[in-house]
Structure 1
Amino acid sequence: MSSSVWKFSRTQGTKEGESFAAITKTADTTQSDPDFAGLIVRCAPKGKVDVLVALIRPFPPRSHPQVTIAASNGGTLTVEASMAAAGAAVLLPDEVSAFASGKWQTTPSLAVTVKESDGEIKGVVSLTGLREAYNSLVANCGQ
């Protein structure tokens, strides 16, 4: 199954020579809405790591959707998020990044619900291989 692989990518930043490393995992299409693309974990400035939910159908750029994340091995978190990438990605708050570096590495999958005034988008993402992918991401962050 191709959805079990975290894809490593590097995108150019706005400044000369600036680039951002990221790992992405596509949604489990059998358990997700067609508008739910997957999860993105990327390097952010000052050594931070951002976690984003990738969507096919963008939300308005100024919206602040409610995102509920339920780990398959227990524990649910609801946060207010903001939009990134012209509304096609939902940027989760910093507190969520700590889960990607810790708890989620032993969690089989996440169920994610993104609620906005005009509806909600649900998806499931397998976290298999996150520990290795996260470690290689962090090793590439400062480059």
Structure 2
Amino acid sequence: MHSVCTFAVASPSSIWKFTRTQGPKEGESFASISKTAETMQSDPEFAGLIVRCAPKGKIDVLVALIRPFPPRSHPRVTISSTGGGTQTFEASMAAAGAAVLLPDEVSAFAAGKWQTTPSLSVVVKESDTEIKGVVTLSGLREAYNSLAASCGQ
């Protein structure tokens, strides 16, 4: 079952895309919301941000990339937000290297302070490669609440 529903709010840059994908086990599915990068302010390899349901009621935050990193990479991800300062995290790879899984502490930002932050600037660094991107966060509160309500269903 592959259902995709998109809810639109105001301008196209405020649209978070809601998707539900089939999990590896029978009857298992995962909901996620994603926002594409601001193209004019981002490198071509930077796709956007994904917030998804994870097992045991957790919520994961990932950075989506166009060009994958090696699956065993541990890129350093620096996130800057307007008025929220800059923080750097060691991340791991998911989705065959095309998504960078941020540590659990970042999930709390998506549930809280990012919901009132206009945009995030993200830099993903792995060996000598650096990929930069900007994602606007407008509409995150509504999208996050919809996602949280569908986690574990």
User: Is the contact between residue 54 and residue 88 of structure 1 (CA under 8 Å) also seen in structure 2?
Assistant: yes
Aligned residue pairs, count: 143
Say if 2:13 and 2:138, in contact at 8 Å, map to a contact too: no
1:73 aligns with 2:83: yes
Aligned residue for 2:142, secondary structure, equals: helix
Q: Which residue in the other structure is 1:135 paired with?
A: 145
Other-structure match for 1:54: 64
Q: Please list every run of 5 or more consecutive structure 2 residues that lacks an aligned counterpart in the other structure.
A: 1-10
Partner of 2:132: 122
For residues 1-143 of structure 1, what are the structure 2 equivalents within 5 Å? 1-143=11-153
Give me the whole-angstrom Cα distance separating, in 2, the residues matched to 1:3 and 1:54.
17
Deviation at 1:72, TM superposition (A): 1.7
For residues 28-51 of structure 1, give each alpha carbon's deviation from its aligned partner in whole angstroms, at most 9, with x where no partner exists.
001000000000000000000000
Distance in 2 (CA, whole Å) between partners of 1:79 and 1:39 is 15
* Structure 1 runs of 4+ with >6 Å offset: none
Distance in 1 of aligned mates of 2:28 and 2:80: 34
In structure 1, list runs of 5 or more residues that go unmatched: none
Q: Is the 8 A contact 1:73 1:108 kept in 2?
A: no
TM-score (norm 1): 0.98
